[in-house]
């Protein structure tokens, strides 16, 4: 605990007011620390020991309320520490004491969901939620984005979903997927030949972003410009409906999309208060 700390590492002590630490952390996220000007940190780490553990947890909860969408990773360890006792006349006695340490990492970008201390952000409490529209090229992402004019209201939770088109290039999807809270996977359900391609791409995304809630839209392109090319595909026969929850829809009219979004909203993590 005695090594020098980086500007975005904060050692919490019981002596100072919590607001001092909260303000400091907010400045670190915003890039307005006096000794690190212009550096907006992606994450901060709060460290506390012994009696300051509770303070550390409180500060984390306050920060998560102030900056909704923060991912959290908490670790607790304990160490044996030598404590010196006595005034010297009888000789110094040293006593070993077990001291608990906590470190709480709060991050704007996703943390490893496999980690035992992982806590997803409380997206359910956020008013505006970013949702990526992803899928193979020509699936209907841009069409849906245009139809919905970039956003949708979710009646069930009272949230606004801000839609972000991830674009045709899979190599670029990370730019969007790294910053959103959920994903809508769009499949061109009129193109049987590319169904397998779409499934594999979705699996790759799920592997890379396992914490992202998602739903599949089977774009049926009901009123295609060239009806002969677009023979409708029976939903479920081609797409893997057992593995992925999917909704038939029509990206041009928006039919079926609302139901899918309500379902996606129901998957959003509530967030959990720390139990220390």
Ligand X SMILES: Nc1nc2c(ncn2[C@@H]2O[C@H](COP(=O)(O)OP(=O)(O)OP(=O)(O)O)[C@@H](O)[C@H]2O)c(=O)[nH]1
CA–CA–CA angle 70, 76, 82 (5° rounding): 140
Listed in sequence order, the residues at least 6 apart from 19 whose beta carbon sits closer than 8 Å to its beta carbon are none
CB of 180 to Mg ion, least distance (A): 17
Considering only residues 237-266, where is the footprint of ligand X by CB under 6 A? 250-252
The answer to whether residue 58 forms part of the interface with Mg ion (CB under 5 A) is no
* The one among 221, 247, 257, 271 contacting ligand X by CB under 6 A: 221
Cβ count within 10 A of residue 185: 24
CB of 214 to Mg ion, least distance (A): 19
Considering only residues 142-201, where is the footprint of Mg ion by CB under 5 A? 142
DSSP string, 163-222: EEE--S-GGGHHHHHTT-SEEEEEEETT-GGGHHHHHHHHHHHHHH-TTS-EEEEEE--S
Question: Among 42-50, 96-104, 131-139, 262-270, which window interacts with ligand X (CB under 6 A)?
Answer: 131-139
CB of 167 to Mg ion, least distance (A): 6
Residue 72's beta-bridge partner residues? Answer: 106, 119
The answer to whether residue 224 forms part of the interface with ligand X (CB under 6 A) is yes
Q: 107 or 198, CB closer to Mg ion?
A: 198
Residue 221 interacts, among ligand X, Mg ion, none and using kind-specific CB cut-offs from 5 to 8 Å, with ligand X
Listed in sequence order, the residues at least 6 apart from 230 whose beta carbon sits closer than 8 Å to its beta carbon are 190, 191, 221, 224
Q: 7 or 168, CB closer to Mg ion?
A: 168
Pattern of binders to ligand X over 34-73, x per CB under 6 A?
A: ----------------------------------------
**CA-closest candidate to residue 189, choices 155, 234, 227:** 234
Residue 4 interacts, among Mg ion, ligand X, none and using kind-specific CB cut-offs from 5 to 8 Å, with none
The answer to whether residue 137 forms part of the interface with ligand X (CB under 6 A) is yes
Alpha helices, DSSP H, located in the chain:
18-30, 53-66, 141-147, 173-177, 195-208, 257-267
Q: Give just the sign of the alpha carbon dihedral 5, 10, 11, 17.
A: positive
The answer to whether residue 141 forms part of the interface with ligand X (CB under 6 A) is yes
What residues line the site for Mg ion (CB under 5 A)?
142
What residues line the site for ligand X (CB under 6 A)?
135, 137-143, 168, 219, 221, 223-225, 250-252
């Amino acid at each position: 605990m005695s090594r020098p700390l980086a500007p975005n590492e904060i050692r919490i002590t019981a002596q100072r007011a919590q607001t001092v630490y909260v303000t400091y952390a907010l400045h670190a996220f915003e890039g307005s620390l006096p000794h690190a000007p212009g550096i907006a940190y992606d994450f901060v780490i709060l460290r506390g020991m012994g009696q300051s553990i509770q303070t550390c947890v409180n500060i984390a909860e306050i920060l998560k309320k102030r900056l909704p969408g923060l991912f959290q990773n908490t670790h607790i360890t304990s160490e044996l520490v030598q404590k010196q006792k006595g005034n010297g006349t009888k000789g110094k006695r040293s006593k070993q004491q077990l001291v608990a340490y906590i470190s709480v990492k709060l991050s704007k970008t996703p943390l490893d969901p496999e980690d035992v201390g992982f806590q997803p952000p409380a997206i359910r409490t956020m008013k505006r939620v970013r949702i990526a529209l992803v899928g193979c090229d020509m699936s209907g992402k841009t069409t849906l984005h245009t139809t919905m004019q970039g956003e949708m209201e979710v009646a069930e939770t009272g949230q606004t979903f801000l839609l972000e088109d991830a674009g045709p290039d899979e190599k670029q999807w990370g730019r969007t997927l790294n910053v959103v809270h959920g994903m809508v996977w769009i499949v061109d359900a009129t193109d049987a030949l590319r169904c397998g391609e779409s499934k594999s791409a979705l699996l790759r995304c799920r592997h890379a972003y396992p914490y992202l809630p998602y739903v599949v839209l089977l774009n049926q392109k009901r009123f295609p410009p060239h009806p002969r090319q677009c023979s409708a595909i029976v939903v479920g026969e081609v797409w893997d409906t057992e593995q992925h929850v999917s909704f038939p829809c029509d990206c041009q009219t928006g039919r079926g999309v609302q139901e899918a979004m309500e379902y996606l909203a129901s998957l959003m993590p509530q967030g959990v208060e720390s139990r220390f």
